[in-house]
Amino acid sequence: MKHIEIDCHFVRNLCQQGLLRVSHVSSRDQLADLLTKPLPKAPFEALRSKIGISDRSTILRGHISDIS
């Protein structure tokens, strides 16, 4: 628990100095949730597109069927 107290004081000091601003991030915009939580399809796809990852499976399917 000591390390959490140190981190808290460190962040608080940075905020007081005007070097850091802490703001709320809604869960629909929380990019970390993409890799840390099981999400329903729609929120998963929305967050995935925000980090620049697209669904390539449809493109691959077309090429695979052309080769077969």
The number of residues making up the chain comes to 68
* Chain centre distance of CA 48: 8
Q: Are 22 and 15 a contacting pair, CB within 8 Å?
A: yes
- Domain ranges for the chain: 23-68
By the 10 Å C-beta count (0-12 exposed, 13-18 middle, 19+ buried), 13 is classed as exposed
pLDDT digit string, tens, across residues 10-68: 999 999 999 999 999 998 889 999 889 999 999 999 999 898 887 766 665 555 555 55
Q: pTM score > 0.75 for this model?
A: no
